[in-house]
């Protein structure tokens, strides 16, 4: 039974958990920035009329979505050295998370842009706007708002996915739990504590998503000038 | 060099097949159990009992807020401390079923909430029992909303099943990990492993997409 659940050991290991939490947060932030960059490029390619950019983007997105992140992570972890890139585990992990999440972000951005009614584009054309002006002044400002809640949802998924990096021995939060579990044979203390930390991050992001939803709802429609 | 590696890989073919078998069986069992449990939970969640609904909501949040890897570790390492002995396969099934049930619960609840109250009231007025209302009026209409994300959830479930390799279950991902120790060509080995998942998942993704289009079209007609 769990009657000898040791809070003292948890307190003793708190600095380790703290370091793990900080690592998880910053590597998630960096990966999310990377995912946004990958997603923007992919969605721009995916929205082209010609097949030259669209087909590779679609193939990439479908491949990423049809295979598990763990297999992708191992593909990079065991595969990159073979191509002559010997990178630290942390960099491989951030790369894998960015490339994986980027495919999902691309779909979110595409859906956001496609959600803008055609009439808006036509009105832009009728007002004599160029393609860039239409994108910048009509479509993107509206699409941006629509994409914020699902992007935050993707951020939640990314933070949770980052736990897999512990399997290539990146010293993040889950790794801290594993260390406590194996050093002291205290799996309950280790894994319940990190679960609590992940929940903390989850509720922060969920609260942010709710806030952004309200902000979007309240945002008055901009009058045209 | 590459020829030797290919030969060595060909020798691992039975192992790979067994790994694929484990992945498919594990996913299939959890998929069936998770769907049943998820529908039950979803119906209870929208059933009107505040307490039950909020307990389910809290549990779903707990599962959605923690990484699946951590959930597997919790089940595999802590249930034995509570006196429940279980092997890696059972632990994997419990973890995957629970995960699927929680996500499907929310999908089903959203579907049920999308059915207009007038429909339920009409069923009430026609003298249908609670069970009849659910089975003959609410669920068939909710399915239109439920089906596309449900299939999408199955894809996620199959992919998440790869995480059970962390507790030593020899599924497809674990096979890749074992083979790459012998054949040092990560690109080739995990390309093949990825291909295995792709063959299983891609048809489901296509199905989800088609369902979405069809259900969306049907929805549009109703709204007109």
Q: Flag if A75 and B177 touch (Cβ within 8 Å).
A: no
pLDDT of residue A223: 46
CB contact under 8 A, B198 and A67: yes
Instruction: Tell which of A6, A64, A74 to mutate to test the B interface (max B CBs under 10 Å).
Output: A74
In this prediction, residue B184 carries a pLDDT of 80
Maximum mean pLDDT: which of A89-98, A187-196, A215-224, B80-89: A89-98
How far apart CA A76 and CA B109 sit, in angstroms, is 39
Q: Which residues of A touch B163 (CB under 8 A)?
A: 68, 70, 164
Q: What is this model's ipTM? A: 0.88
pLDDT band at B220 (very low <50, low <70, confident <90, very high): very low
Residue A19 pLDDT > 90, yes or no?
A: yes
Say yes or no to pLDDT of A218 above 70.
no
- B38 pLDDT above the threshold of 90: yes
| Residue appearing with tokens 């401390």 | B81
Chain A closest-CA separation from residue B91 CA (Å) = 15
Residue A220's pLDDT band (boundaries 50, 70, 90)? low
How far apart, in whole angstroms, are the C-alpha atoms of residue A224 and residue A151?
27
pLDDT in the model for residue B217 = 62
For residue B31, pLDDT over 90 is answered with yes
Q: Give pLDDT, residue A74.
A: 93
pTM recorded for the entire structure:
0.89
Residue A222 has pLDDT above 60, yes or no: no
Query: A77 contacts in B (CB within 8 Å)?
Result: 186
Chosen for mutation from B71, B106, B182, B190 (greatest number of chain A CBs closer than 10 Å) is B190
Q: What residue ranges define each of the domains in chain B, with the CATH number in brackets?
A: 2-223 (1.10.3720.10)
Q: Residues A22-48: what's their mean pLDDT?
A: 94
- The nearest alpha carbon in chain A to B203 belongs to A66
Is the pLDDT at B218 greater than 60, yes or no? no
* Predicted confidence (pLDDT) per residue in B142-169, tens digit: 988 898 899 989 999 999 999 999 998 8
Question: Are the Cβ atoms of B159 and A63 closer than 8 angstroms?
Answer: no
For chain A, what are the domain ranges?
A: 9-218
Please give the residue that has the higher pLDDT: either A4 or A13: A13
Residues on A contacting B at a C-beta cutoff of 8 Å: 1-2, 62-63, 65-72, 74-75, 77-83, 156, 160-164, 166-167, 174, 177-178, 181, 187-188, 191-192, 194-195, 198-199, 202-203, 206
Interface contact flag, B67 A72, Cβ < 8 Å: no
Topology of the domain comprising A9-218: MetI-like fold (1.10.3720)
**A163/B69 touch (CB, cutoff 8 Å), yes or no:** yes
Q: B67 vs A187: CB contact, 8 Å cut-off?
A: no
Residue B223: what pLDDT? 38
State yes or no: pLDDT of B11 exceeds 80: no
8 Å CB contact of B73 and A181? yes
pLDDT tens for each residue of B99-128: 999 999 999 999 999 999 899 889 989 888
């Amino acid at each position: 039974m769990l009657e000898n659940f040791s809070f003292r050991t948890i307190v003793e290991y708190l600095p380790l958990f703290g370091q793990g939490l900080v690592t998880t947060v910053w590597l998630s932030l960096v990966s999310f920035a990377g995912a946004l960059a990958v997603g923007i490029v992919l969605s721009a390619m995916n929205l082209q009329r010609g097949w030259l950019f669209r087909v590779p983007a679609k193939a990439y997105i479908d491949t990423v979505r049809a295979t598990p992140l763990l297999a992708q992570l191992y593909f990079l972890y065991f595969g990159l050295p073979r191509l002559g890139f010997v990178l630290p585990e942390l960099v491989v992990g951030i790369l894998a998370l960015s490339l994986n999440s980027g495919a999902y972000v691309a779909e979110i951005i595409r859906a956001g842009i496609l959600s803008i009614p055609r009439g808006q584009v036509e009105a832009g054309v009728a007002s004599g706007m160029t393609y860039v002006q239409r994108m910048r002044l009509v479509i993107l400002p509206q699409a941006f708002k629509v994409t914020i809640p699902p992007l935050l949802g993707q951020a939640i998924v990314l933070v949770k996915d980052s736990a897999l990096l512990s399997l290539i021995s990146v010293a993040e939060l889950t790794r801290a739990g594993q260390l406590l579990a194996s050093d002291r044979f205290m799996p309950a203390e280790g894994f319940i504590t990190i679960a609590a930390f992940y929940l903390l991050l989850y509720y922060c992001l969920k609260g942010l998503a709710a806030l952004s939803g309200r902000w979007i709802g309240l945002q008055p429609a901009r009058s045209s000038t | 060099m590459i020829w030797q590696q290919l030969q060595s890989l060909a020798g691992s073919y039975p192992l790979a097949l067994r790994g694929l078998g484990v992945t498919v069986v594990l996913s299939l069992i959890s998929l069936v159990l998770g769907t049943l449990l998820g529908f039950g939970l979803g119906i209870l969640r929208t059933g009107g009992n505040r307490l039950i609904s909020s307990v389910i909501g809290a549990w779903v949040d707990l599962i959605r807020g923690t990484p699946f890897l951590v959930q597997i570790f919790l089940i595999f390492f802590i249930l034995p401390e509570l006196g429940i002995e279980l092997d890696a396969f059972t632990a994997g099934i419990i973890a995957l079923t629970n995960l699927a049930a929680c996500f499907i619960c929310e999908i089903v609840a959203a579907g049920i909430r999308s059915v207009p109250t007038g429909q339920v009231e009409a069923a009430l007025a026609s003298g249908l029992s609670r069970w009849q209302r659910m089975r003959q009026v609410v669920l068939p209409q909710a399915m239109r909303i439920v089906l596309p994300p449900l299939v999408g959830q199955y894809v996620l479930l199959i992919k998440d099943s790869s995480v059970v390799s962390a507790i030593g279950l020899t599924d497809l991902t674990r096979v890749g990990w074992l083979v790459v120790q012998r054949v040092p060509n990560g690109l080739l080995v995990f390309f093949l492993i990825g291909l295995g998942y792709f063959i299983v998942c891609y048809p489901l993704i296509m199905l989800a997409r088609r369902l979405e289009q069809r259900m969306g079209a049907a929805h549009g007609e109703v709204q007109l």
